[in-house]
Amino acid sequence: MGEKKARRMKTPKVSKNCKPLTAEELREISDKYAVYIKDLHVAFDTQDGCVKAVNGVNMQIEKGKTLGLVGETGAGKTTTGLAMLNLIQSPPGQITAGQIVVNGQDVLHASLKELENFRGKDVSMIFQDPMTSLNPVLTVGDQIAEVISYHENCTAKEAEEKAKEILELVGIPGFRDKDYPHQFSGGMKQRVVIAIALACSPSVLIADEPTTALDVTIQAQVLEMMRELKQKLNTAMIMITHDLGIVAETCDEVSVIYAGRIVEHGTLVDIFEHTRHPYTEGLFNSLPDVTNRTAKLKPIRGLMPDPSNLPEGCAFCPRCNYAMEICKTKKPQKIYDSDTHYVECHLYSCGRQIGDGGEMDA
Amino acid sequence: MYRYIIKRILALIPILLGVTFIVYAIMSFQPGDPARTLLGTGATEASIQQLRQEMGLNDPFIVQYARYIWNLLHGDMGISYVTGNDVSFEVFSRFPNTVILAIGAIVFAVAVSIPIGIISATKQYSAFDNIGMIIALLGVSMPSFWLGLMLILLFSVHLGILPSGGMQNGFWSLILPSITLGAESMATITRTTRSSMLEVIRQDYIRTARAKGVPERKVIIKHSLRNALIPTVTVTGIEMGALLGGAILTETVFSWPGMGRLLIDSIGNQNTPVVLGCLVIFAICFCIVNLIVDILYAYIDPRIKAQYK
Amino acid sequence: MKRQASEISRKYKKKNQFVDVMVRISKNKMAVLGLIIVIIMVLTAIFADVIADYDDVAIKQNMAIRLQKPSAEHWFGTDEMGRDIFARIVHGTRISLYVGAISVGISLLFGGFLGAVAGYYGGKIDNGIMRVLDVFLAIPAMLLATAIVTALGSSMINLLLAVGIASVPGFARVTRASVLTVRDQEFIEAARAIGAKDSTIILTHILPNCLAPLIVQCTLRIGKAIVFTASLSFIGLGIKQPTPEWGAMLSGSREFIRDNPHMVLFPGLAIMLIVLALNVLGDGLRDALDPKLK
């Protein structure tokens, strides 16, 4: 009993604001969704103040679907992904509110042992930078076999064999399992990272900018491979990216995140053809027009707000072409455009919309 | 792998030559005439000159140095002024004792510091961490010979449970001197292990390991430690050199019959050949220890091993 | 847009660096304590004569009151020659700080010069200098000092040299590393393009960049130099009796350890205290100056 208690003590601390879910609620949620996040808040306590990285994110992903999480650097995308595994670095960071259910597991109230069983098997994460994500002193085969032997009942030899198979699956010759990470190129390293993530056929895959560090041709290969594997295993996936092109290729639904909040969410068609939020409009406008090479680029002016000093009212207001007085003081609420599409913007509560002119600041 | 070892050994040779050269050069500044000292005050000028000729003392410096190295390679380091024995005999009869002391010290240092460093890093800012760091700080600030004296005061004078000197009591004699000699190294290695563990734990690949569901204990031992040990091994190597220097002090405090004591006594007796012999052997040992550390390095870090595959 | 940019820059404007460092150090209580202790020690050294007269109290033997335990009259007791230990420790402060500071000053000059030259010119000069330093590093400092003092005699100059040489490679390395980071930047090229001499470039552009790590090194090295001097004196190679150097005092007290622990306790405590203070201060300075921790 003492040991059990001691183990449970080693749960990453979450704030008391995160209420545990009842078994009923848990079952209800997990029947419908592979991923369920409600009102997630994550803050980091640093020397320079309290950095509010995630400020009320909601997410629901059905099994087998892919959600694209789109936003600029610093919007809180990676933090959201890490929170889903309860891997926020705990001295500075803390999950201050919210509920997270992934594959039927109440993530925020799981013991360390439960989390260790859960990570890598029910849900896996592909990290952004392949250069630093692999342990330099362990062989590639060892790092893949490790995740297999911790989650599946098999001998070391079987794990080794399976690791070789998976390497083949991601397009790396099996005999290279005895090599070290530094002996691979960037693209191959990322494939190893993907191999590790998929080794135990997870039900949910969090891909954090998996192709950002790679060049375009490799990007295409990796995305294709992920798509195939996803279809084979019916994995639900979160594709975290700032690249709208990748979103168009791989996602079923899209959430646009800004300063730690989802400002617009909808299906692929909703977002691409019925864009509602000024920020999303800005993102699309920022893409250079391939057909008109001499056209002026239209970036979004200004910078993302300092997460340790977020403005009152709408976080996008200082950069918004449609900003109104109310935007400065009141945070916008969710407004549904259709069953699948919502946006958080005051324009829509006033009967206006984007594209109807807006104030252009000099 | 062998290429790496050969390469390191070859790199060692110029350093060894340089080291012996510097030691020899410094010692040659000593005033006084070895021939005169050997023959004593009653000797005639002629016999002194003759002895100088025989000993080759009139040859240019480089020649004398080369001759010394040549003799050294044959195990001949001259004759002690005091006992008349071969210097090599004097030095090598004490050598094992110093080695035993050094091994005792490094075993103490490593056995204590690595666990403390790891635990301090994984439980950063806890009481354990704070106490550990204070002890490390004290270890680095305390003169080793004073620590030795204080240990004698406590364990030999007050409590009477440990001998205050000499080698007669076997293992028990080794305890206090090892702690004395090893204390400073222990402090440095603890701090290094802790800071390198802290850095490793923040790395992305540790995050990956946790995301895979690897149990925390394995994350620390299998994933973090091997990476964190790299600077630790380097520092341990450096510390071994400091140990050789510190042995002089420790052997003095505990009347330990090693090379350090021999060195000090010989300085007092102006027994130059023995002084030179001790210094040269110390320096060679240090170089060899560094070589071993370099090789160990390659075993731990596969990136270096791969360079020489 | 302009409004926003200036707001942001006002927030992150580069504060006066010195003030910045001072503020950061003051947050580190241990470092501040260390600084206070160092200042006290320095003052003790300067006013040693005022606290206790040198010849009368520290040196003159008085066999009648030898080996007395600490008392109201003799705070730390008396030694085997009847000398007041407290007075001797006070004067010892002056000696230790003197030798420590000067030997480190010598190392700083030599090491800094070698490191700057090696870093700036690179190539064969760099290689050559570093090789020579490697050889010096290959000999444990204690042994090198022993050799020097044995061969050249134990005058103050030789002692300063012996203690100083031990720190030269350290300073050279630090200087060289700092020089290397600045050397390839464009403003150096610009300076050269307008015809500035190498020596001018090194002195006015490169050295200020090295100041921070060098200050840290100095602080830490002075502590090491003090212990080193005490060690040499302990084995009879450094400062000899009757001069009240701490290490020499410990050497003399060995025979009397059984019945007179106070003779062994106080000089050692003095050494430990000053070195501890310097180490803590040096660590604090390093943390305050290290941009990675910002």
How far, in Å, CA of C227 to CA of C247, rounded?
A: 8
The total of other beta-carbon atoms located within 10 Å of residue A308's CB is 14
Give me the domains of chain B, ranges plus CATH numbers: 95-253 (1.10.3720.10)
Q: What is the mean pLDDT of chain C?
A: 80
How far, in Å, CA of B9 to CA of B228, rounded?
A: 26
The answer on pLDDT for C2 being more than 60 is no
Comparing CA positions, the residue from A47, A54, A127 lying closest to residue A91 is A47
Tokens of C53: 């007269």
Tell whether A70 is covered by a domain: no
Chain B residues within an 8 Å CB radius of C147: 23, 26-27, 275, 279
Burial class (CB within 10 angstroms; exposed 0-12, middle 13-18, buried 19+) of B307: exposed
Examine the domain organization and report whether A23 and A43 are in the same domain: yes
Tell whether A303 is covered by a domain: yes
Tokens of A162: 């399976």
Tokens of A334: 């969710």
Tell whether A58 is covered by a domain: yes
Comparing CA positions, the residue from C73, C56, C69 lying closest to residue C244 is C56
DSSP sequence for B67-115: HHHHHHHTT---B-TTT-SBHHHHHHHHHHHHHHHHHHHHHHHHHHHHH
Query: Is C1 an interface residue toward A (CB < 8 Å)?
Result: yes
Facing residues of A264 across strands?
A: A256, A343
How far, in Å, CA of A43 to CA of A95, rounded?
A: 6
Chain A residues within an 8 Å CB radius of B222: 138
For A147, the domain range is 120-251
Examine the domain organization and report whether A190 and A303 are in the same domain: no
Contact B208 A120 (CB under 8 A): no
Examine the domain organization and report whether A217 and A299 are in the same domain: no
User: Cβ neighbours of residue A47 under 8 Å, at least 6 residues apart?
Assistant: none
Q: Which of A30-44, B27-41, B61-75, B166-180 has the lowest mean pLDDT?
A: B27-41
Q: What's the total number of domains in chain A?
A: 3
Contact A116 B203 (CB under 8 A): no
CATH of the domain at A134: 3.40.50.300
Comparing CA positions, the residue from C63, C52, C66 lying closest to residue C260 is C66
Distance from CA of C162 to the nearest CA of B (A): 11
Of the candidates A221, A251, A281, which is a domain's last residue? Answer: A251
pLDDT at A9: 41
Amino acid letter, residue A55: N
Examine the domain organization and report whether A92 and A49 are in the same domain: yes
How far, in Å, CA of B191 to CA of A319, rounded?
A: 48
Angle between helices C246-253 and C261-289 (to 10 degrees): 150
Query: Is A136 an interface residue toward B (CB < 8 Å)?
Result: yes
Residue of C nearest to B19 (CA): C135
Q: What is the pLDDT of residues C77-133, one digit of tens each?
A: 887 777 888 888 888 888 889 989 999 999 999 988 888 888 888 888 888 888 888
Nearest by CB to residue A116, choosing from B203, B205, B213, is: B213
The answer on pLDDT for C292 being more than 60 is no
Examine the domain organization and report whether A90 and A8 are in the same domain: yes
Question: For residue B100, how far is the Cα from the chain centroid?
Answer: 12
Tell whether A343 is covered by a domain: yes
Residue of A nearest to B202 (CA): A89
Q: Evaluate if pTM is beyond 0.95.
A: no
Examine the domain organization and report whether A20 and A100 are in the same domain: yes
Q: What is the pLDDT of residues B97-135, one digit of tens each?
A: 999 999 999 999 999 999 999 988 888 888 888 888 888
Burial class (CB within 10 angstroms; exposed 0-12, middle 13-18, buried 19+) of A178: exposed
Chain A residues within an 8 Å CB radius of B213: 115-121, 147, 150-151
C-alpha neighbours within 13 Å on the C-beta side of residue A87: 28
Examine the domain organization and report whether A179 and A81 are in the same domain: no
CB A313 within 8 A of CB A329: yes
Query: Is B107 an interface residue toward C (CB < 8 Å)?
Result: no
CB B189 within 8 A of CB B232: yes
CB contact residues (below 8 A), chain A span 166-185, against chain B: 180, 182-183
CB pairs under 8 A between B and C: 132
Q: What is the pLDDT of residues B131-157, one digit of tens each?
A: 888 888 898 888 999 999 999 888 888
Q: What is the pLDDT of residues C185-204, one digit of tens each?
A: 777 778 778 887 777 777 77
Examine the domain organization and report whether A155 and A244 are in the same domain: yes
Examine the domain organization and report whether A92 and A194 are in the same domain: no
Contact A180 B211 (CB under 8 A): no
Examine the domain organization and report whether A84 and A144 are in the same domain: no
Comparing CA positions, the residue from C278, C150, C229, C88 lying closest to residue B145 is C229
Classified as helix, coil or strand, A69 is strand
**Mean pLDDT of the region A247-270:** 92
Query: Is C231 an interface residue toward B (CB < 8 Å)?
Result: yes
Tell whether A151 is covered by a domain: yes
How far, in Å, CA of B151 to CA of C288, rounded?
A: 36
Examine the domain organization and report whether A133 and A243 are in the same domain: yes
Chain B residues within an 8 Å CB radius of C267: 146
Tell whether A175 is covered by a domain: yes
Residue of B nearest to A113 (CA): B215
Q: Which of A65-79, A150-164, B194-208, C79-93 has the lowest mean pLDDT?
A: C79-93
Facing residues of A105 across strands?
A: A102
Chain A residues within an 8 Å CB radius of B211: 85, 87, 119-120, 124-125, 127
Phi, psi at residue A225, to the nearest 5°?
Answer: -65, -40
Chain C residues within an 8 Å CB radius of B146: 250, 264, 267-268, 271-272
- Complex ipTM: 0.81
Examine the domain organization and report whether A196 and A94 are in the same domain: no
Query: Is B109 an interface residue toward C (CB < 8 Å)?
Result: no
Give me the domains of chain C, ranges plus CATH numbers: 28-293 (1.10.3720.10)
CB pairs under 8 A between A and C: 7
Chain A residues within an 8 Å CB radius of C8: 303
User: Cβ neighbours of residue B262 under 8 Å, at least 6 residues apart?
Assistant: B90, B91, B94, B274, B278
Query: Is C276 an interface residue toward B (CB < 8 Å)?
Result: yes
Q: Are strands A334-336 and A342-344 parallel, antiparallel or unpaired?
A: antiparallel
